[in-house]
Chain A
Amino acid sequence: MTNNAAPPVIVVSELRKSFGDKVVLDGIDLNVPQGTIFSLLGANGAGKTTAVKILSTLIAASGGRAEVAGHDVASDPDSVRAAIGVTGQFSAVDNLLTGEENLRLMADLNHLSKKDGKRAATDLLERFDLTEAARKPASTYSGGMRRRLDLAMTLVGSPRVIFLDEPTTGLDPRSRREMWQIVRELTAGGVTIFLTTQYLDEADELADRIAVLEGGRLVAEGTADELKRRIPGGHVRLQFTEPSEFRTAQRVLGRAAHSDGDALALRVPNDGSLRSLKALLDQLDHESIEVDGLSVHTPDLDDVFLALTGDSDNKKVTNR
């Protein structure tokens, strides 16, 4: 599918999962090339975590096939486990142990020698800015520190594929940015990242490719740009206080402008470039129209997401 030269690391076909009568994954296909960040985007309950659980060998699929790092998750889970690292939605650290002990525990479980384990722990503490807190129990860590420790623990075994299930949910903006930076650095070393998120900006920021999961099906897949191109372009929103100014502007800008709701506001299609903005402002200035406020909207994944998932709702309705 992809013209990428890198071999696929995660290959999923017709993957299904249901819990009793409830269908959570309804036949999804995925192909993630090595060294890329793939993001599975969806609202709460869309099936993202279930997908991660199947790919990380935690639960069995009800149907379909999934291969991770060249091994089938159902028939050869141990080989898959040896190649992956998982940082889940709920922190997987031992609260009674210190940060350093948690890392040493991972080193022991990855069968590193005592010396290598110690070095790996020291390096990771340094890299994740946890050196100062190294000897404190994890229960005393802040949300951001705990998530960093969690990811550091995942990295001890030098996994080739990393699953990050909503890695920044519940983090403050600064910790989120730090997390993003760390994730970006990881791919530099050829690691493949499978990221699930409900935040569109996160997928936009990090992912090479994005798949939108809705009701157990993939409703769209592509790069962030490809997805954005699927919906109508950007616009400028003009806000007025005087009804007379609003009417004049409506007349001058003509058919291109639509009124935005009941407010005295207009949406004017615009690509957001300086040139086209200047042209618009000149036009308003020329007619001496008083504009109270102006904001530029470029299409973001929010628009894509709402458009796509709204679509599927409509389909459901018309099918019935």
Chain B
Amino acid sequence: MTTAVASHPLRDSTTMVRRNLKRMVRYPSMTVQLIAMPVLLLLLFVYVFGGTLGAGIGGPSGGRAEYVNYVVPAILIITIATIVQGTAVSVAMDMTEGIIARFRTMNIARVSVLTGHVVGSVIQAFLSVAVVVGVALAIGFRPQAGFGDWLALVGLVAAVSFALVWLTVAIGQSSQTVEGASSLPMPLMFLPFLGSGFVPTDTMPEGVRWFAEHQPFTPIMESIRALLMDTPVGNDVWIALAWCAGIALVGYVWAKKLYNRKV
């Protein structure tokens, strides 16, 4: 186990991040597609369902205008979920190409191939979140967040995307095909629906409601909503961060194990 050769984890990771960013620039249609999805959902929910759902939620003004403010946190989670689905696909693509075999035979920090994907995707996630927030503002989203709230939001978005990216880096490696990698993270897209993302949980039947209140995305979306609307955050943010830490840890350990496996 003794090794005389130097290890450069930081430099190797930076190199790999640069590689992944370059790949995103070279293959822009993928990023565009990944950003288009949540934007379309936002427009759908605000302009098609928003009138009715907004009326159901109530609130001072009610209707569509109210619903934009309600639904944005869910759309942000879907934005991140879409991006990490792309991560799974690009990791799977990488694994099927010979270049990963080359990396494995080189004396580079092993984890750097994975951290390259992780950091690249987190950057991509921030980019899409910014676009989605921009569109939301354009169609009437009116957040009440102060400077501190925005900082906290950035931190929370970073934590959520970091956690989900590690999970999908593992999923991308575990699936044998690129097609498999694109469908396996699908549940992440649906979880916001089975939570407090689109309608409050208290209108749901008991079993669904129990699930909705205890699944990880609900505290995350509640925290984002509270920060955006400048309402009390309560315990949700700690529960949210705990979920993120747990998911990140599981994803990291799983991803690393898959990457280091020797048949």
Could you list which residues of chain A lie within 8 angstroms of chain B, going by C-beta atoms?
19, 56-60, 75-76, 78-79, 81-82, 84-86, 88, 90-97, 101, 105, 108-111, 137, 153-154, 157
Assess the A88–B102 pair: CB atoms within 8 A: yes
Task: Please list 27 pairs of residues, one from A and one from B, whose beta carbons are closer than 8 Å in the complex, sorted by A's number.
Answer: A19-B263, A56-B105, A57-B105, A58-B101, A60-B262, A60-B263, A76-B2, A76-B3, A78-B107, A79-B3, A79-B4, A81-B106, A82-B5, A86-B105, A88-B98, A92-B101, A94-B23, A96-B22, A97-B23, A108-B11, A108-B15, A108-B18, A109-B15, A109-B103, A109-B106, A111-B8, A153-B102
Which residues in B have their C-beta under 8 angstroms from that of A101? Answer: 22
Which residues in B have their C-beta under 8 angstroms from that of A56? Answer: 105
Q: In the complex where A79-B4, A95-B97, A96-B26 touch, is A59 in contact with B263 (Cβ < 8 A)?
A: yes
Q: In the complex where A97-B22, A105-B19 touch, is A92 in contact with B102 (Cβ < 8 A)?
A: yes
Which residues in B have their C-beta under 8 angstroms from that of A91? Answer: 98
Q: Does B257 contact A (CB under 8 A)?
A: no
Assess the B26–A97 pair: CB atoms within 8 A: yes
* B window 1-54: CB within 8 A of A: 1-8, 11-12, 15, 18-19, 22-23, 26-27
Identify the interface centre among B8, B12, B104, B105: most chain A CB within 10 Å of its CB. Answer: B105
Assess the B98–A90 pair: CB atoms within 8 A: yes
Which residues in B have their C-beta under 8 angstroms from that of A60? Answer: 262-263
Assess the A57–B104 pair: CB atoms within 8 A: yes
Assess the B11–A96 pair: CB atoms within 8 A: no
Q: In the complex where A81-B106, A94-B99, A96-B22 touch, is A109 in contact with B3 (Cβ < 8 A)?
A: no
Q: How far is the CA of A101 from the CA of B22 in the complex (A)?
A: 10
Which residues in A have their C-beta under 8 angstroms from that of B1? Answer: 75-76
Which residues in A have their C-beta under 8 angstroms from that of B107? Answer: 78-79, 81-82
Size of the B side of the interface (Cβ < 8 Å), in residues, is: 30
* B window 169-214: CB within 8 A of A: none
Which residues in A have their C-beta under 8 angstroms from that of B5? Answer: 78-79, 81-82
Q: How far is the CA of A21 from the CA of B23 in the complex (A)?
A: 41
Which residues in B have their C-beta under 8 angstroms from that of A92? Answer: 97-99, 101-102
Q: How far is the CA of A75 from the CA of B6 in the complex (A)?
A: 16
Which residues in B have their C-beta under 8 angstroms from that of A76? Answer: 1-3
Which residues in A have their C-beta under 8 angstroms from that of B229? Answer: none
Closest chain-A Cβ to B106's Cβ sits at a distance in Å of: 6
Could you list which residues of chain B lie within 8 angstroms of chain A, going by C-beta atoms?
1-8, 11-12, 15, 18-19, 22-23, 26-27, 97-99, 101-108, 262-263
Closest chain-A Cβ to B259's Cβ sits at a distance in Å of: 12
In the complex, how many residue pairs between chain A and chain B have their CB atoms under 8 Å apart? 81
Closest to A81 in B: B107
Q: How far is the CA of A56 from the CA of B106 in the complex (A)?
A: 9
Which residues in A have their C-beta under 8 angstroms from that of B8? Answer: 111
Q: How far is the CA of A194 from the CA of B7 in the complex (A)?
A: 26
Q: In the complex where A58-B104, A76-B1 touch, is A96 in contact with B99 (Cβ < 8 A)?
A: no
Closest chain-A Cβ to B6's Cβ sits at a distance in Å of: 8
Besides A82-B5, A90-B101, A97-B26, 19 other A-B contacts (C-beta < 8 A): A58-B101, A59-B263, A78-B3, A78-B7, A79-B4, A79-B107, A81-B106, A86-B101, A86-B105, A92-B98, A92-B101, A92-B102, A93-B98, A94-B23, A96-B23, A97-B19, A105-B19, A108-B15, A108-B18
Closest to B3 in A: A78
Q: How far is the CA of A153 from the CA of B106 in the complex (A)?
A: 11
Identify the interface centre among B1, B7, B108: most chain A CB within 10 Å of its CB. Answer: B108
Closest to A111 in B: B8
Name B102's contact: one of A86, A108, A111, A137 (CB within 8 Å): A86
Closest to A139 in B: B26
Assess the B11–A81 pair: CB atoms within 8 A: no
Closest chain-A Cβ to B30's Cβ sits at a distance in Å of: 10
Which residues in A have their C-beta under 8 angstroms from that of B22? Answer: 96-97, 101
Closest chain-B Cβ to A153's Cβ sits at a distance in Å of: 7
Which residues in B have their C-beta under 8 angstroms from that of A153? Answer: 102
Which residues in B have their C-beta under 8 angstroms from that of A110? Answer: 106
Q: How far is the CA of A95 from the CA of B99 in the complex (A)?
A: 9
Q: How far is the CA of A79 from the CA of B19 in the complex (A)?
A: 25
Q: How far is the CA of A84 from the CA of B7 in the complex (A)?
A: 16
Q: How far is the CA of A57 from the CA of B8 in the complex (A)?
A: 19
Which residues in A have their C-beta under 8 angstroms from that of B27? Answer: 96
Assess the A105–B15 pair: CB atoms within 8 A: yes
